[in-house]
Chains A and B, each alone.
Chain A
Amino acid sequence: MNKFKTLIKKDWIISKKTLLMPFWITAGFYLLIILGIVIAYYKGDIQSNLFDFPVDSPINAISYIANLSVVGLPGLMSIIFIIMLMQGALNEDIRRNCELFHRSQPVSIWLRTGSKFYVGLLGNWIVLFLIALFTFIVVNIILATIHQFDFTTAISGMLQAFSAFVKTGLIIGSLTFFCSAIFKDKAFLKGLSILVAVHLLFLIFNNLFGWNLPLPLSYLMKLMIIDTEKNILVGIDEFEALNLIKNAWNSILFNWKTLYQVLFSGALFAGATLIYKNKEIK
């Protein structure tokens, strides 16, 4: 356990810059907004009815949708940074010529890859959660000032969006991690190119010969998307909103697909480690 802690500390040190980048981007984003508001205020351009909602709007639904939506941008950013970190996970040391130094330490390969996997995913998720939490506070202060805030549905919205991005990050991150064990650089792009090529090839075969070969990209998309039962943006009443929010937990987290996603990710991790373990270090 102590060795794992040491590896995590080392991987945190070398990934720190990339991991913290979303904080700086978010801070820049908020600074720009504040700057815009200040300029607009001095120019007298602020619209006082910007956040006005109709009086009969369902507070639950508004709180929910608002908090669900605002995690979108940090969530996408998190996916991008997961890809950036994971695509160098198992090849960066080789490229930097320090693989021999790390491999010459008496520590299991599984612990080494585990630490890189853990820092790449969990590190990004923690950053995403903190940004989402900050955004949650900001958005709900605004909503509360215009009396459109309900804590339970608001936090559900934020947490559900966060969970959805965590799961997407898990699949994309694991896939990129796997590619980093195979390719020396630009692992994600190369892996994706191969998947696209295989997808197109299978598609052609299926159309030409009437076969039913599984299409890798369709499979991955199916694995990543959330199966929502109803489009929540369609006009709904208070009761429907609460029901949908409750059901959304089942669609996002508490289902067999989640277990399947975790197993898929675990298989990619194990495969990547075995490939990496068997790589010759010249």
Chain B
Amino acid sequence: MELIEVRNLTKRYGSLKALDKVDLKIPEGRIIGLLGKNGAGKSTLMRCILGFLKFDGEIDIMGERVNHHKESIHNLIAFIPDVSSLDDRLTVQQTIDYVASLNESWNAVTAGRLLSRSDLPLNQKVGNLSKGMKTKLYLLITLSIDVKILLLDEPTLGLDIVFRKEFFNTILGEYFDETKTIIISTHQVEEVEQILQDIIFIDEGKIILQEDIAELKNQYSLISVQSNRKEELEKLNPMLITHTLGKVNAIVGSDVQIEGAEYSRPSLSDLFVAKVGGSNE
């Protein structure tokens, strides 16, 4: 079953095309990574899905057409943008009470469990919390709402590695099951690579690729040879050539064989650079 269907989605900011005829189907029960360079259209795509931006084209969320912002959408989708978007003027307790009262599907048991595990100071103003604490609060209020889709837009930006790991572990442990879908837009693809099932590459407002990660990786191999055998690799017309200490690596089709080479599966960031080009993010 498709939870989100996007057809011919185009978004312009003046003369700039932020999204260009995007077609997308987001199935149920998947963890999907949305990968693109800065300004590729990741955030714009998420904001269009939520109806925060005006656009041309069609978006259906669980059969409901979205052509402008509808509050009912938030009964189906929870959204975590950059964690500094919480309201600094409220205390932690007031923020929890506020979200709990507005969301009919608020799960007090989950909230209580997440709260007891965190060391959130309930009477402290959100503005006085560290970024890590804000992340915990955002997770608590988002994961305590029973929704089908979770959109994460660069949620761990500016967080240290401990909080980033904790963030994704909490999401997997507390939220995900086979009836729910998570879409994660992030720059730190290496950190989420292990939890992602599908990947979407977006570049210059266009969807370059949408595929099951396991299938994608099966299509390609990362071949490593000594630096002096670079010409051999180049003859294979590889998607990407990179250099490591004393070695040359190339992404090629999985059926390509070279004598004496080391074979491994390419990483998502390698595949992204190979498909999209530009610097390795």
Q: Point out residues on A near B: beta carbons under 8 Å.
A: 2-3, 5-7, 9-10, 13-14, 93, 96-109, 277-278, 280-282
A-contact bits for B72-100, CB 8 A (1 contact / 0 none) = 11110011010011111110001001110
Bound: A105/B81 CA distance, A: 13
Interface pick from B50-58, B193-201, B209-217? B50-58
Identify which of A5, A101, A282 gathers the most chain B CB atoms within 10 Å of its CB.
Answer: A101
Q: Point out residues on B near A: beta carbons under 8 Å.
A: 47, 50, 52-54, 68-69, 71-75, 78-79, 81, 84-90, 94, 97-99, 101-104
| 23 A–B contacts from the bound complex (CB under 8 Å) | A5-B101, A6-B98, A7-B102, A9-B98, A14-B87, A14-B89, A93-B87, A97-B85, A98-B85, A98-B88, A99-B85, A102-B87, A104-B74, A105-B74, A105-B98, A105-B99, A105-B102, A105-B103, A106-B74, A106-B104, A278-B54, A281-B52, A281-B53
Given contacts A98-B85, A100-B79, A101-B85, contact A14 B90 (CB under 8 A): yes
Instruction: Point out the residue from B69, B88, B89, B101 that lies within 8 Å of A103, measured CB to CB.
Output: B69
Known: A98-B85, A105-B98. 15 other contacts (CB 8 A): A3-B102, A5-B101, A9-B98, A14-B89, A93-B87, A96-B89, A99-B85, A104-B79, A105-B99, A107-B102, A109-B69, A280-B53, A281-B47, A281-B52, A282-B47
B190 to chain A, nearest CB (A): 27
Cβ A10 vs Cβ B104 within 8 A: no
Cβ A13 vs Cβ B89 within 8 A: yes
Instruction: Point out the residue from B78, B88, B89, B90 that lies within 8 Å of A104, measured CB to CB.
Output: B78
Cβ A100 vs Cβ B52 within 8 A: yes
Instruction: Point out the residue from A3, A14, A100, A108 that lies within 8 Å of B101, measured CB to CB.
Output: A3
Given contacts A280-B52, A281-B53, contact A96 B101 (CB under 8 A): no
A131 to chain B, nearest CB (A): 25
Bound: A153/B193 CA distance, A: 78
Question: What B residues does A106 contact at CB under 8 A?
Answer: 71-75, 102-104
B40 to chain A, nearest CB (A): 15
Question: What B residues does A13 contact at CB under 8 A?
Answer: 89-90, 94
Instruction: Point out the residue from A93, A96, A103 that lies within 8 Å of B52, measured CB to CB.
Output: A103
Bound: A3/B75 CA distance, A: 14
Given contacts A280-B52, A282-B53, contact A97 B94 (CB under 8 A): no
Cβ A277 vs Cβ B103 within 8 A: no
Bound: A102/B74 CA distance, A: 11
Bound: A14/B90 CA distance, A: 7
Identify which of B52, B68, B75, B78 gathers the most chain A CB atoms within 10 Å of its CB.
Answer: B52
Instruction: Point out the residue from A5, A10, A109, A280 that lies within 8 Å of B90, measured CB to CB.
Output: A10
What are the 4 closest A-B residue pairs judged by CB atoms, nearest first?
A: A6-B101, A106-B74, A281-B52, A98-B87
Identify which of A14, A98, A99, A104 gathers the most chain B CB atoms within 10 Å of its CB.
Answer: A104
B194 to chain A, nearest CB (A): 28
Cβ A6 vs Cβ B52 within 8 A: no
Question: What B residues does A104 contact at CB under 8 A?
Answer: 50, 74, 78-79
A250 to chain B, nearest CB (A): 43
Question: What A residues does B52 contact at CB under 8 A?
Answer: 100, 103, 280-282
Question: What A residues does B98 contact at CB under 8 A?
Answer: 6, 9-10, 105
B119 to chain A, nearest CB (A): 22
Bound: A96/B127 CA distance, A: 11
Which residue of chain A has its CB nearest to the CB of B89? A14
Bound: A96/B90 CA distance, A: 12
